[in-house]
Amino acid sequence: MSRKKNKTTVELQAAADHVDQEIARLQAEKKDLRKQINETARKERNAYLYFRGGELTQHLQDKAELLTDEDIKLFLNYVFSFSRTQKLVSDMLAIRRGEADGTVEELVQSAMSGYGRAPFRGNDVQTS
């Protein structure tokens, strides 16, 4: 039966140094991965914001530049102040969470056609 040879102090120190180097390499790799995660998350967030801003701009057509950020904020606050809008958004979220049946497209179509259009309360209302 052979006896296991004990490692010398030099061999043990070399093994410890190798482990330290591996730890440093893995920490550097982890740092790089975190950087990639942050960059990817930022790109995804920007794409999300650009898309939604583009959708709003599309409805404003070529006059979008005339409105300030404050104008857009006021407009969105106005639109989302209606209980019908809040209900629609709530129902859309329920569908996306799987808590309600149907599709968002069907829900929006129904809201647009079934209820009729809300009257505009502005200075273009005609009086007879």
Q: Is residue 46 part of a domain?
A: yes
Q: Do 68 and 83 form a contact (C-beta atoms < 8 A)? A: no
Q: Is residue 86 part of a domain?
A: no
Q: Domain range for residue 38?
A: 8-61
Q: Do 94 and 100 form a contact (C-beta atoms < 8 A)? A: yes
Q: What is the pLDDT of residues 110-119, one digit of tens each?
A: 988 865 554 4
Q: How far apart are CA 67 and CA 60, in angstroms?
A: 9
Q: Could you give the 3-state DSSP secondary structure of residue 123?
A: coil
Segment 65-70 long-range contacts (CB within 8 Å, at least 24 positions apart):
none
**Confidence band of 124 (pLDDT split at 50, 70, 90):** very low
Q: Is residue 75 part of a domain?
A: no
Higher pLDDT residue, 7 or 43? 43
Q: Is residue 57 part of a domain?
A: yes
Q: What is the pLDDT of residues 40-91, one digit of tens each?
A: 999 999 999 999 999 999 988 888 889 999 999 999 999 999 999 999 999 9
Q: Do 118 and 82 form a contact (C-beta atoms < 8 A)? A: yes
Q: Is residue 44 part of a domain?
A: yes
* Buried-state track 70-104, b at ≥16 Cβ within 10 A, e below 16: eeeeeeeeeeeeeeeeeebeebbeebeeeeeeeee
Total number of domains constituting the chain: 1
Flag whether pLDDT at 102 surpasses 80. Answer: yes
